[in-house]
Structure 1
Amino acid sequence: MSVYIIARFKIHDRSEYDQYEAGFAEVFKKFDGKLLSVDEDPTVLMGEWDDTRSVIIEFPSKKSALAWMTSAEYQAISKHRNAGSTANSILVKGLE
C-alpha cells in the first residue's frame, strides 16, 4: 500500500536549507519514492498557514519510506535541514 509523507517547513536559514536541498535528489533517487509536490506559495483554503515550504512525497510502502528517512545518507544531509528550518511531518496511508 502506498504511503505519503506530508511535510511543512519554516525556513529560517536559507543557506543551510539550500545545502540540504543540494544533496536531496541524489539521496532520494536511491529509494523508491516519488516527489509529488514542493510548494513555497500554496493557496490557503482554510485556517492560517505561515510555513515556508510544503512537500508531498509518495512511497510504495511504509518500509521504503522509513528506510529512506533512517538511511545514513539521508541523515547526513538532514542536519542541514534541521539547522535551516523547523519542520512538521506526517506519514499517511494511501487508499487501497
Structure 2
Amino acid sequence: MADAPVYIVANFIIEDADEYRKYEKGFFPLLKRHGGEFLTYDDSTHTFEGPEPRDGRVVMFKFPSEAAATEWYNDPDYQALSEFRRGGTNLKFLTMVHGLPPRD
C-alpha cells in the first residue's frame, strides 16, 4: 500500500486559544512541505449511533503516503511547532488511517 494515501484524524479540546493560534499559523506551511492536504475541521460533530465521541475539535487532513505522513510528524520543525498545540490543547488522539490503493 505504498501508493495509498493516508488520512490523519485529530481530536482535541482547545484550552488556550492564543497558544493554539501559534500552532495553526505554522501548521499549513509544514503540511504543504510534506505534500499534505487539509480536508476539514469541525467543532460540533454529530453522532448518529454509538456512544458520543470525544469532545472538542476534530481535524482531518491527508498525505499522499504513509512515508510522507511519518516524515511530516517526525520533522524537527513540526515537533517544535507542536509544542504550541501541546501547550494549548488537550489532545485526545492523533491517528493515521490508511486509504485504499489506487485502482487500475
Give the TM-score normalised by structure 2.
0.84
Q: Does 1:71 align with 2:75?
A: yes
Structure 2 spans left out of the alignment, 5+ residues: none
* Percent sequence identity over aligned pairs: 36
Aligned residues: 96
Q: CA deviation at 1:45?
A: 2.3
What is the CA–CA distance in structure 2 between the aligned matches of 1:26 and 1:35, rounded to whole Å?
Answer: 11
Q: CA RMSD in A?
A: 1.3
Pick the structure with greater CA Rg.
Answer: 2
Runs of 4+ in 1 over 4 A off after TM superposition: none
2:38 corresponds to 1:35: yes
Q: Deviations over 1:53-89 (max 9, x none)?
A: 1111111111000100110111121000000112212
Q: Do 2:12 and 2:56's aligned partners in 1 also have CA atoms closer than 8 Å?
A: yes
- Give the partner amino acid of 1:39: D
- One-letter amino acid of the counterpart of residue 23, structure 1: G
Paired residue type of 1:11 = I
SS, match of residue 25 in structure 2: helix
Q: Give the match for residue 10 of structure 2.
A: 7
1:59 aligns with 2:63: yes
SS in 2 for 1:91: strand
